Structures are given as structure tokens and as C-alpha cells.
Amino acid sequence: MAGIRPLGHNYSPMGAINRFHSHHYPNWLGVNDPVMDAFYPKALACTGEDELKQIAKDVNERIARQHYVVSLFNRARIRSVTMV
């Protein structure tokens, strides 16, 4: 299926992780968390998919504990659908 990436979604895990970096734009939630900032360089240094999945899991756990919101849904890649 076009647009679906290896982890089964249509938004890059790196892009999702980077959205919560304090110096990244857009950081819509205004996250300023050194723990979250440390995840992106770790993700860049990954050598395999399993390692990236573990970092994504750790990011999601941190987000849940801090009550941030993350979405792997990219509206720009979804065609509009007309409901009948």
C-alpha cells in the first residue's frame, strides 16, 4: 500500500519523535524536557529497526507519563473521503 512505512503507519517515527524536541519546529505543545530531547539523537544513532521501535516505545511511555499527545497520522498524505 502506497504511503505506509515499515512500522505500519504513514508518519515517520523520526518526525514524530522530533516534534517533542525543545528546539524543533513545530513544537506545538512547547515541550521543554531534557529527557525528550535525548531521544532524538539516540534514534538517529540507531542501527536497526528493533532499536528504533524500543526508542519509540520509550518516547510513547514518556509522553503518556507527561500527558503529551503524539500522532503518527499525517493528514497531508490521506485523500479526502466523501461520506454518503
pLDDT tens for the 84 residues of the chain, in order: 455 555 555 667 788 888 888 988 878 778 899 999 999 999 999 999 899 989 989 998 998 888 766 566 665 555 554 444
Nearest to 69 by CA among 16, 32, 24: 16
Q: Give first-to-last CA distance, the chain, whole Å.
A: 25
Q: Can you give the pLDDT at residue 7? A: 58
How high is the pLDDT of residue 76? 58
pTM of the predicted protein model: 0.65
User: Is 59 exposed, middle or buried, given 0-12, 13-18 or 19+ CB atoms closer than 10 A?
Assistant: buried
User: CA-based angle 38:8:30, to the nearest 5?
Assistant: 35
Can you state the angle between helices 34-44 and 49-66, rounded to 10 degrees?
170
pLDDT the model gives residue 2: 52
